C-alpha cells in the first residue's frame, strides 16, 4: 500500500538525484576542459606575439644600425 508507494517514490527520487549529479559532474568536466583549451590557446597566442615582438625588435635594431652606418659613410 502506502508504505510501498512511498518507498518506490523515494527510490525514484534518489535515482533522479543521482542522475542529476552525474549530469552536473559531466557538465563541470566539460566546462573545465573547455577552460583549459581556451587557456592553452591564449598562451599559444601570447607566445606567438612575444616571438613577433622579438622579430620586429631585431629588424628595427638592424635597420637602425644600417641607418647609422649610412650616416657615417
Is pLDDT larger for residue 73 or for residue 20? 20
* pLDDT tier for residue 73 given thresholds of 50, 70 and 90: low
Task: List, in order, residues 6 or more apart from 23 with CB less than 8 Å away.
Answer: none
Model confidence pTM above 0.75:
no
Average pLDDT rounded to a whole number, residues 43-72:
94
* Residue % of the chain over a pLDDT of 70: 97
Amino acid at each position: 500500500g502506502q508504505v510501498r508507494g512511498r518507498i518506490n517514490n523515494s527510490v525514484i527520487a534518489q535515482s533522479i538525484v543521482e542522475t542529476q549529479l552525474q549530469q552536473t559532474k559531466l557538465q563541470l568536466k566539460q566546462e573545465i576542459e573547455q577552460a583549459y583549451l581556451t587557456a592553452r590557446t591564449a598562451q599559444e597566442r601570447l607566445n606567438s606575439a612575444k616571438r613577433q615582438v622579438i622579430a620586429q625588435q631585431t629588424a628595427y635594431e638592424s635597420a637602425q644600425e644600417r641607418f647609422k652606418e649610412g650616416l657615417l659613410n
